Amino acid sequence: MPEEVLIFTTVFLGIFIEAAPFLLLGTFASGFVEVFISRDDMAKIMPKGILPATLMGGLLGFAFPVCECGVVPLTRRLFRKGLPVSAGIAFLLAAPTINPIALAATYAAYGFGDVLLLRFLLGLSIPMFIGFVFAMGASPIKILLPRSYAASVPAIMGASENFSDIQRMDALNIEQPKPTLGEQLQRATRIASNEFFEMGRYLVLGSILAALMQTYISQEDILSLGNNPFSSVVFMQVLAFVLSVCSTVDAFISLSFVNTFSTGSILGFLVFGPMADIKSTLMYLNVFKRNVVFYIIALAFLSTLLVTVFINLNFNI
């Protein structure tokens, strides 16, 4: 077997096996949100103002152990339940970085110190900033693809012809018998299964593209960029996008660059990668409009770049 094929197969399986369990976890969370949380519940949970709602959306990421794959279907479901735009975008981008598993992995790799604290701080503040940007005049119906938003629009408005009987009865205010717990669990599992296979194809495609890139990137070229405070950050962010490793293990991957790259560069890798990589971009494109995906990635890239270059130039850490 040619060496390139062996490397490609190993990298592809590594990326896919890392991400698949968290995608499954995210889709199960999405199914349970659909069945057990109503729009009224969401309205009661979320604060009214943009600032507290965005902060809560970002901090929700601390409660859900999902990576950048699993958070996409969950966020789409939360939007359908009435989650404000600013809170949804903050949750989407923050959860992969500040979830308990990712933070525990960062602690295991770096210990309690600058990298762990700054990863949490930047992993929360940058998504909140992007959430504020999207809160200016945006609404879920403006940023989501029609098929992603249709399930939250009443059927009597003609948004979709594919509503279930339960959704049609809800829309027409017809009283319906309360389902048993077993029926609710079955429905949640069915929703999770459908979303796993829907999102899974984008995970497979993204893993293939990332594996191809890793197979043909020269390690010598990587190491030659480590000294410049600006280009090193750019490169580490691009590398994070291309490698597409799960946010729960990226801290261990970044350890191999510690002796060559600055702390700001490492943080660029650890903060930007969970917000945008090849596989998550393909999933975004299945949920959001194309221009929205472009703005999400561009804002995440530039915000992380500015902060981490500032760290490189002003702090000796």
Sequence ranges of the domains in the chain = 3-314
Contacts with 148 (C-beta within 8 Å, 6 or more apart), sequence order: 76, 79, 80, 286, 287, 288
The pLDDT score that the predictor gives to residue 124 is: 93
Residue by residue, pLDDT tens for the chain (317 residues) are 677 788 888 878 876 777 677 667 767 766 676 666 666 666 677 777 788 888 888 888 887 767 777 788 888 878 877 788 888 899 999 988 998 878 888 888 888 989 999 999 999 999 999 998 888 766 777 888 877 666 544 332 333 333 344 444 444 444 556 777 777 777 778 867 876 776 677 667 767 776 776 677 665 665 566 567 788 899 889 888 887 777 777 887 787 777 778 889 999 999 999 999 888 898 898 888 899 999 999 999 999 999 999 998 888 66
The pLDDT score that the predictor gives to residue 34 is: 64
User: Coil, helix or strand for 288?
Assistant: strand
Are the C-beta atoms of residues 238 and 92 closer than 8 Å to each other?
Answer: no
Structure tokens of 236? 């580490």
Say how many CA atoms lie within 13 Å of 181 toward its Cβ.
0
Contacts with 97 (C-beta within 8 Å, 6 or more apart), sequence order: 61, 119, 120, 122, 123, 124, 127, 247, 270, 271, 274, 275
Say how many CA atoms lie within 13 Å of 131 toward its Cβ.
30
The pLDDT score that the predictor gives to residue 93 is: 93
The pLDDT score that the predictor gives to residue 150 is: 61
The pLDDT score that the predictor gives to residue 170 is: 46
The pLDDT score that the predictor gives to residue 127 is: 94
Length of the chain: 317
> How far is it, in rounded angstroms, from Cα 149 to Cα 276?
22
Contacts with 136 (C-beta within 8 Å, 6 or more apart), sequence order: none
- CB burial of residue 228 (10 Å; 0-12, 13-18, 19+): middle
Helices (H) and strands (E) in the chain — how many of each?
Answer: 17, 0
Phi (first) and psi of residue 4, to 5 degrees: -60, -40
